[in-house]
Structure 1
Amino acid sequence: MRTSRLVLTGAAVGTIVGTARADLNATHVFNPDWPPHARFHGAAGWGTVAGAQLLALWLLWRPASSAAEQELAAKTAALLPAVAWAPFFGALATPGTAVEDEPGHLPRVAGVPLNLVPATLVPAVAALGYLLHRRGL
């Protein structure tokens, strides 16, 4: 079994589980203070992220018919977690948005709100997985 496949699998599974824990709870999708349409978008957004990661897992674990197909599958599987997390940073540029409901509400890692940590690390792990793939590992 290739190490790269396991690393990329971790990025995809971590994205599914992490976003489910963060979004499918009383602070987000099941928050009674949120308007129903906002809750709808939260649930739909999570479904989109989870579906993309399931696609990444399928690409990683299905048999490839050629080396070129395997290369494209690994590249796509590495990009999908990055695509899921990159909007966190773009959203910060939208007026009126914040990474937490109340400033200081979330735990910090080196002064950074906790939810921005996986938004940075998971794409880095996916990039590492792809680099390992390129080296045949």
Structure 2
Amino acid sequence: MRSLRGERGSTSVLILGLSIAVLVGVGFAVDGTRKGLAYSQATSIAEEAARAGGQALRARALATGADADVDPQLAVVEAQRYLTVSGADGTAHWDGERLVVETTITRTTVFLGSVGIAEFTVHGSGTAAVVSRG
């Protein structure tokens, strides 16, 4: 019968390597999912803030029966208010035709911090324009 003394520990190295590979794969899956959810949240918040700002109609125009239009300054204020309440960092501005809202969300990683990736940042955007149809 042949002695296997020269093979001692070789399986342990293989198992260790596979374990590390699986752990890194799980880390990418978990943190990648978290990044996707954060992106979705950033976009949703930006779109909702744009909708909230888009509701800033000029009351006097509506009262006189004129076409509805947006008060640009009030729209920006309302969008910023929505961003503040939601807890997201972002900006809102009127580009001449529509309200543009951009958000930024930063999240810490769960697994990837062990390989030097401590956090990730995602950006979302949303726009709103009032269209009158008579």
TM superposition score category, shorter chain reference: 0.3 to 0.5
Q: Give the structure with the larger strand fraction.
A: 2
Larger radius of gyration: 2
Q: Give the structure with the larger helix fraction.
A: 1
Give the alignment's TM-score, normalised by structure 1: 0.32
- Of structures 1 and 2, the one with the larger relative CO (CA 8 A, separation 6+) is 1
Give the alignment's TM-score, normalised by structure 2: 0.33
